[in-house]
Amino acid sequence: MKSIYVKIVSIFSLIILFGMLINTIFSQMMLQKTIGYTEQLLTQQMNDKVQTADTLINTQVENSKKTSTLLAEQFALHPEVIKGVTEGNKAMVHAALKDSTVVAREKAGIDLVWVTQLAARTPNGNTPILACPSNPSFDGFPNLHYASTNEALHTGKTVVSWEVNGEDGKLQVSAPIKDAKGKVIGAVVVGQQTYQPLLKRISDRSDTAMSIFLKNGKDFYIMTDTQKDEIGRKLFKDSHDKYAKDVKQAKNMAELASTNSDYKTILSFLNQVADKKDFTETILLQGKPYVCNFTPLTTYNGEVIGVLVSRFPGLLNTKEMIMSQTSTMRILSYTVTICVVVVSLIASIFFSRSITNPIQQMVQSVDQIARGDLTRKIDVRSKDEVGQLAEYLRAMTESLKKVIQEVSSAAHHVSASSHQLQANIEKTTKAAHQITMSVQHVAQVAENQQQQAEKSTAAIQVMNKKKMSSRNYVCSCGYQEHRDVHGARNILSKAIHEEIRHFDMPTKQKYLRIA
């Protein structure tokens, strides 16, 4: 049989556990809902930011293309340029484009302007530089092979394309130069080969770290990076921009990936760009998650020759921070729940003991009282119902003591009365015995008297038959009787009392004579 203590503790424990379970489930539901809502907001923000960056990239690239196209077509129509190409006079070309090249660099970031002759093109498609107003040191450089430039020379149309020549990648526009008869005689190439100005404008406006990876054959290499974060600074150290200043050749990504896990991760996603137009992924770089957008850079005919990678470290860091705080809150919630349950159980135990201990004490006291021990004290002084019950039990015990004392006193009194009654009974018995003996004696005497009376009666009858006396006695009552009556009385008295008794009665004796 379970004690009341166990029952109370069990009930309180179940209530507490049930309450905490409901609270935990509700808290987790609210927390999960908050997490979901937060993730939704962050995802939306991320998508908005990626979209913003993508829009800025496309806008800047398009603006650069439009500006380069406008300049290239204007340069191709310049009379001095046409004449210089026709005559193969590079000085004339320099003179015609010098000022315009400076303005294009300063105002639009166009740092690439060079002119080639169709007549100088080699059978393998190389288009040697006739004149390079943006960098005269490249005048006469023979080893340039750009598909877009060859396309412009072949079709007579302006061609916009991302191009890579060795490790020299650029966004360029090739505009055909035509003579007075409309025959293509050469081409003007205008574009950007230094990507920092282009990337910087996009990066600053979108608050995004950016890198450009170009493709040299089958291998990617790092062209440049905006250096806005730690991984960006690492990428720039291994980029073409950094090595070009030191007149060194940048290592390709496959070589870098063999010794660096971050480069290996990046390279795996670069290789996926050929199958996708534009995509966004979350990747781990230096142990930190980054949301990265991969935008392919293509030639005029759709061949991927590079990838523009935009990183959003702050956004995912915020998400990770919120997720970390959420995880901490969840752990804290579980910890608080466990602590509350433990404290509540301890409190319920103490509370139960505060109820059951007085009850157990009263149970023990009542048990002792039931066994006849009225000296057991009930030391419960609470002011609640249990205290009232203890007070009533103390009063009951005192009442029982008084009743027992009264019963004991009455018992002593009854005992004394019983002894007295016994003595009286003995006396009464003795007296009864004596009375019985006396009665028996009286009966015997009566019987004897009866016999004597019968004898006397018989004697008197005999006497009467013998003679009739003439003497009469006068009794005190006035009755006159025969004198022989006195004789009979004497005889009767003798028979009864064994002696003749005389009565003190005034008598008037008179002898009656027989008439």
- Full DSSP string of 473-486: EE-TTS-EEEHHHH
DSSP structure class, residue 30? H
Q: What is the largest CA-CA distance in the chain?
A: 236
Residues of 320-350 as b/e, b for ≥16 C-beta within 10 angstroms?
eebbeebeeeeeeeeeebeeebeebeeebee
The model's pTM: 0.57
Across 69-93, average pLDDT: 94
Across 232-255, average pLDDT: 78
Does residue 233 register a pLDDT over 70?
yes
Cβ atoms of 95 and 163 closer than 8 Å = no
Higher per-residue pLDDT: 98 or 24: 98
Query: Checking phi first, is residue 156 left (phi over 0); if not, alpha (psi -120 to 50) or beta?
Result: left
Per-residue confidence (pLDDT) for residue 328, from 0 to 100: 76
Q: Which residue(s) pair with 474 in the sheet? A: 480, 508
pLDDT digit string, tens, across residues 188-204: 999 887 677 777 877 88
Cβ atoms of 153 and 187 closer than 8 Å = yes
Does residue 473 register a pLDDT over 50?
no
What confidence category does residue 179 fall into, taking pLDDT thresholds of 50, 70 and 90? Answer: very high
For the packed helices 4-77 and 79-87, what is the interaxial angle rounded to 10 degrees? 70
Distance CA 238, CA 224 (A): 9
Percent of the chain scoring above 70 in pLDDT = 81
pLDDT digit string, tens, across residues 74-85: 999 999 999 999
Nearest to 104 by CA among 192, 170, 205, 177: 192
Per-residue confidence (pLDDT) for residue 275, from 0 to 100: 64
The pair phi, psi for residue 348, each rounded to 5°, is -65, -35
Strand order in the sheet with 168-178: 112-117, 184-192, 168-178, 159-165
Across 464-478, average pLDDT: 50
Higher per-residue pLDDT: 11 or 82: 82
Sign of CA pseudo-dihedral 245, 296, 261, 280: positive
Distance CA 18, CA 380 (A): 33
Bridge-based pairing of strands 219-225 and 279-285 is unpaired
Across 154-158, 219-223, 381-385, least confident range:
381-385
Would you state the structure tokens that stand for residue 454, as one six-digit string? 């019968």
Bridge-based pairing of strands 184-192 and 168-178 is antiparallel
Bridge-based pairing of strands 159-165 and 112-117 is unpaired
Cβ atoms of 227 and 233 closer than 8 Å = yes
- Can you count the helices (H) and strands (E) in the chain? 12, 12
Does residue 479 register a pLDDT over 60?
no
Distance CA 160, CA 302 (A): 11
Across 92-96, 374-378, 455-459, 501-505, least confident range:
501-505
169 membership: H or E segment, kind and range: strand 168-178
Neighbours of 352 (CB within 10 A): 21
